[in-house]
Structure 1
Amino acid sequence: MRNFVHSFKTAAAIRPVFPLPNGLQRWPHHHPSLALINYSLRRTIVYVSDAKAEVHKSRLPRNMEIKSELVWLIDEMGEVVGPLEPSRILKNFDFQNKSFVTISENYGEDGQYPLCKIMDRAVVRRSELASLRNKQKKKQIQTKTIELTWVVEPHDLETKLRRMKEFLLKGSRVKILVKPKKKGKVIAIPDAENILQRIKDSVNEVGGKEMKPLEGQVLGLVEVTYEGKKP
């Protein structure tokens, strides 16, 4: 019995020094940090896959997708040569590092053949992803419209200005439409100009800026668009 205890202690002592082979090592069934890493990887893979699919839908044909019998080619000097057969261009082509991309599907006076170019694959990829990100940003930026008349009551003006500032603080664009009232009360030009100044002052308070210059004339239909500061 004494020998057994001694052997057990010896095995425990040498275990950190001589680890078991990979196939025999005992790993915990669940580890929070490993689960978080796996989750992050899955999200990254899904994002990349979605981005690739989005780029593929919006781009022009390339490589073997180009079905035209002949193409015009922009050479290394930037000059257009051809028309050439795509099959000859793609023979022994370095698909790993290069891309044979379509620049225009209908080039020339007759527009019969596409205009193509050989580009670095990495450069093409970066350009496409940058373009996709810009499109996504534009989709995310919402434009809100606030309408009022030149004879707006002070309380209503305060309410609309408060709403405008809330939208701008969220990074939205706000289109302001000031319209004349068809019938009834008419105000003086200085009072109308004061309304426009109140709008500008409210925009400046939240760090907004004029995106499109004011269009129209005082006491007529006036339209101006402001952009909020990025949150």
Structure 2
Amino acid sequence: MQRVSVSVRPLLRATASAGRPHVCLPPSRAFGTSPSWSAVDHRRAAGKLQIVTIDDKLAQFNLDEMIDTRQVRVKTADGKISSPIDLRQVLKSIDRTTSHVLQLSKSGEHEFAIVQVVERANLIKQIKEKETAQRRVQHAQKEKRPKQIELNWAISSNDLQLKLRQMEDFLRKGKKVELLLASKRRQRKASTEEAEALLKTLREKIQEVGAAEISPMEGAILRQATMTVKIS
């Protein structure tokens, strides 16, 4: 008789697996507090620096097709004003790469806008001159603002020497200086004697530099106080 060998191990494994309960795992998901990539990309895009071109700056003028009326009156080099003419005709008569038609009159001021043919280079020059003037005004306003130096009533000796050098440097450059005195949180509180000694040191240095307090000290000792000094 022929012997037949039968393996029962896979059957046992299948039976054992069938006896175990089947566990369904929930689908994985990101935490609600984690932003999606699209949100991150959106924030990055919003934070990019805006690049302003010369054409963007020229948009402050009413030029070419942006002129209010389709019929215009052209101001010539000798100051004369032409009869109404179609704007498209004026635009066709100029080199659009080097020239523009500029509206001189205000919007709604005339039935036909008064315009003039101008060189693009001259408009760019006007813009640069205006920006230079604005920067000068901003610089002058910044220079008028007093320089501020913050000091802790319980300031260390080394830090005080640094602040005194800063004050002297500003004063010798003709700047007005505001000394802002206050106690810092979570730091040692100065005693009345220390605060009075600090004021004495400051006033001695102010006198040494040749400056003076231009107004009485505002505030109170060991509280917030401001001293304003300048070389007269």
Which bin holds the TM-score, normalised by the shorter protein?
A: 0.3 to 0.5
Structure in which a larger fraction of residues adopt strand: 1
TM-score of the superposition, structure 1-length normalised? 0.35
When you count helix as a share of all residues, which structure comes out higher? Answer: 1
